[in-house]
Amino acid sequence: MGQIARLKAIQIANGNVINATDLDAEYNQLVNESNNQDIRISDVETGNITLQGTKTFASAPKLDAMEEKTAGQGIAAESVTLKQGSITLGAVIKLNGVDTATNTISTNIAHGLSHADAVQFTTDDTLPSPIAASTTYYVYASSSTELTLHSSSTDAATGANAIDITTAGTGTHHLLADPPTQNNGQLWFNAAQQQLKARINNQTWSMLTTQFLENLLSGPAPRYSSASAIVLPDGIRCLDSTNTHLMEVTSDITLNLGSAGVNGLDTGTEANDTWYFVYLIDDTTGANNPAGLFSTVNEASAGSITLPSGYDAKRQLPIAVRNDDGGDLIPFVVVGNQLKAGALIQYDVTHDLAGSSATNVLYVTTSATTFTDVDCSAYVPPISTMASLHAAVVHTASGNHYVRPNGGSHNGMILKTNTNGNTAQQLLAMPTDGSQVVEYQASTSTADFNINVNGYYVTEVQ
């Protein structure tokens, strides 16, 4: 219904006739407008629209892509609940142009950058040459809306050696950096620093960094199963070696040294007196389930394992297992059942303080009165430089007996016997050298000096 013109006093004063039909129509118009206002108020009261609060839609609306053109532009609400979908947070500034003659980039708003700040770029087509996506550059802020790019923060601090931009590129380009303004309660992603940041109590906090992601490794530790098998338990989670693909064990995986390929040995056949390193592998396409792999290759040091067909992702786990001289895996437990660097791998075998070497992982019976090497390489793998030792001395005379790191300048740990005759013993966490050697010395050649390797600490695999 069209708007009816209001009757004016001037019309009445001029003697215009008041038409009853016109009065009735205007009355109806006023009633309709009042009813419509009541409907809008009802929408607010019923929760379809909540002022200064949560907006509830009958059907999910679609927000078109937006970019900041003026400071402060965006969506503001006291309470927003996000359901299924995704959000990309970014401090995104649109480029206005590129001057290839001066190598100057201009932005559509004040960029808020300082000299030597780090930035990256994105585009919907082709970036100006030689700018590359996902590459960090450093800026020299020649004005509030202009800057030049530099390969190092040192050059950017003074504007030296600006990158020579040869083309303007095609499409729409954006600069990624910290926001030009940081408001309390703001959350954003800094692509150049690979950090999720938040402004809390007027301070900027880094909430998440790539360092955290690179170290992502959690879940229960592998466990001994039999003389030829171990289990990777349900719950292991880690990023692959490129830190781009998340791998998860959702049900126990049994690895068997007698098998070849997936959940077995990557190449060759099982051997005696051999270290085997443990890997979690996966197929990034999802066609094959996560699996495990044994290999004699220690990628933490050098070389590459042989991945089975259909698998393209891998991660070396912080554990190594040993086949003894009979071809059997030495039983072990992971103290605390934690899958992490620094874990203690304890051998689950009998240790006899002064008995037969057959019941010990390592047994030294001769007693040298000068520091003598003890080779622990059969029981401390290359992924460790810290042995868990149990040292014991049986002697009837008093004296000091020692265990120390190889080449140590001090006597190290002291085991003391007294004149009444006794057994002195000590549990030791002892550093080893690159050859997995420690040293010992007895007070007399008649002492029975016994050293057992209880296990090792993982120190070389993250």
Q: Are residues 198 and 223 in the same domain?
A: no
- Predicted pLDDT of residue 160: 95
Q: What are 102-136's pLDDT values in tens digits?
A: 999 999 888 888 898 888 888 889 999 999 987 88
Query: Coil, helix or strand for 244?
Result: coil
Q: Is residue 110 situated within a structural domain? A: yes
- Predicted pLDDT of residue 85: 47
Query: Where is the domain boundary, 298, 320, 340?
Result: 340
- Predicted pLDDT of residue 411: 82
- What CA–CA distance (Å, rounded) separates 57 from 41? 16
Q: Are residues 237 and 276 in the same domain?
A: yes
Q: Is residue 31 situated within a structural domain? A: yes
Query: Coil, helix or strand for 38?
Result: helix
Query: Where is the domain boundary, 314, 340, 366?
Result: 340
Which CATH number do you get for residue 235? 2.80.20
- Predicted pLDDT of residue 451: 83
Q: Quick one: pLDDT band at residue 209, thresholds 50, 70, 90?
A: low
- Predicted pLDDT of residue 53: 47
Residues 179-205 as b or e (16 or more Cβ within 10 Å = b): bbebeeeeebbbbbbbbbbbbeeeeee
- Predicted pLDDT of residue 165: 96
- Predicted pLDDT of residue 364: 67
- Predicted pLDDT of residue 428: 85
Q: Is residue 21 situated within a structural domain? A: yes
More confident position, 42 or 183: 183
Q: Is residue 66 situated within a structural domain? A: no
Q: Are residues 146 and 117 in the same domain?
A: yes
Q: Are residues 275 and 194 in the same domain?
A: no
At residue 401, what is the residue type? H
Domain count, the chain: 4
Mean pLDDT lowest among 31-40, 205-214, 217-226, 303-312: 205-214
Mean pLDDT lowest among 115-124, 265-274, 358-367: 358-367
- Predicted pLDDT of residue 315: 95
pLDDT of 150 over the 80 cut? yes
Query: Where is the domain boundary, 169, 188, 212?
Result: 212
Residue the block writes with tokens 């040294």: 257
Mean pLDDT lowest among 51-60, 173-182, 308-317: 51-60
Identify the domain containing residue 357 by its residue range. 349-457
pLDDT of 55 over the 90 cut? no
Q: What are 182-206's pLDDT values in tens digits?
A: 677 777 766 556 667 777 777 777 6
pLDDT of 423 over the 80 cut? no
- What CA–CA distance (Å, rounded) separates 159 from 277? 50
pTM, full prediction: 0.58
- Predicted pLDDT of residue 72: 44
Q: Is residue 73 situated within a structural domain? A: no
Q: Are residues 191 and 273 in the same domain?
A: no
Q: Are residues 38 and 144 in the same domain?
A: no
How big is the CA angle at 8 (ends 5 and 9), to the nearest 5 degrees?
170
- Predicted pLDDT of residue 140: 95
Q: Is residue 82 situated within a structural domain? A: no
Q: Is residue 315 situated within a structural domain? A: yes
Q: How far apart are the first and last CA of the chain?
A: 74
Which CATH number do you get for residue 377? 2.60.120
Q: Quick one: pLDDT band at residue 21, thresholds 50, 70, 90?
A: low
Q: Are residues 392 and 322 in the same domain?
A: no
**How much of the chain exceeds pLDDT 70, in percent?**
73
Residue 34 tokens read as: 């009042």
Q: Is residue 86 situated within a structural domain? A: no
pLDDT of 19 over the 70 cut? no
Residue 434: name the closest of 405, 391, 402 by CA. Answer: 405
Going 39 to 41 to 44 to 47, the CA torsion angle's sign is: negative
Q: Are residues 325 and 226 in the same domain?
A: yes
Q: Are residues 149 and 178 in the same domain?
A: yes
Q: Are residues 329 and 261 in the same domain?
A: yes
pLDDT of 314 over the 70 cut? yes
Q: Are residues 208 and 264 in the same domain?
A: no
Q: Are residues 111 and 187 in the same domain?
A: yes
